[in-house]
Amino acid sequence: MAFKYVTKADGSKQDFDREKIVKTCLRVSGGEVDRKTAEEIASEIENRSYDGISTKKILEMLFNEYLKPYKTIIPFRNNLRKAISLLRSKPDFELYIQLLLEQVGYSITPNCICRGKCVEHEIDAIARKGTETKLVEVKHHVNHHTPTDLDVCRNTRAVLEDVIEGYEDGKNSHPITSAMIVGNTKFTRHAERYCNCRGIELLAWYDLESIIEEKKFYPITLLKGISRKVNHRLIEENIITLQQLVESDSNQLTHMLDIEQEIVEDWILRSKKILSG
């Protein structure tokens, strides 16, 4: 079979990847689709595809035709990438990333002012693990097709140098060793090349997606049926993940949000369904 390419939402092209379809089937079906069935679905979609087919068209085929009999979780949740983009840059996404880094073993000092050799800097987070102490820059794009560019990386490098020299001069108490940039989109090629050269760690969308799915560390914006206003109110009360929502007291939430308890309990039940999938 000749190789095919697909057209992404930003207009770029990439090779058709059956494994992405397989992983999507396994992830969103809540365990109802096994590996063999997922591979059969991917093969059928590949056979029906053509050069230049859009990723949107592939997803429409997948969800509206092949996964329709298995939709037990899909109606409850938004697309994960969309859910992340629905978070506000500050404080939602920053708080979410701080909590996510704790899930992978970092000790976090959030949102601090760090004095450098020359000036003071507002740091999104300082992450510690073992002998490493990382300066963390968090970059959020509402449009999840917008890449993080070189300027963000150069600015992070400049801040890193200043706070390291500030520590050496005794102006701050953070023995920072390196930097990490976390974003909800991909990075431009120039940004990747620069950070590889400068030793700056990048966590782009696909890195985040892998961690989130492995840990089932889903933001509350993944759950359909909750208004943006209510999401903001929940986050103000430090309820930013589905797990935190599940662990909350429904009576307290009902009183806090001035919403019928049946609605809150439905959110919790659907969240449990997603987390158990």
Taking only the tens place, the pLDDT of each residue in 1-53 is 456 888 876 677 888 888 988 887 876 666 678 899 999 999 999 999 998 88
CATH superfamily of 218-276: 5' to 3' exonuclease, C-terminal subdomain (1.10.150.20)
Burial of residue 228, with CB atoms counted within 10 A of its CB: 0-12 exposed, 13-18 middle, 19 or more buried: exposed
Percent of the chain with pLDDT over 70: 93
pLDDT band at 71 (very low <50, low <70, confident <90, very high): low
- 213, 272 in Cβ contact below 8 A? no
pLDDT score recorded for residue 272: 86
Per-residue pLDDT, 64 = 77
Give the pLDDT confidence of 104-127 residue by residue, as tens digits.
999 999 999 999 999 999 999 999
pLDDT at 220 over 80: yes
Q: Does residue 88 contact residue 228 with C-beta atoms inside 8 Å?
A: no
Q: Is the CATH number of domain 89-209 3.40.1350.10? A: yes
The domain limits of the chain are: 5-72, 89-209, 218-276
What's the pTM value of the predicted model, to 2 decimals?
0.75
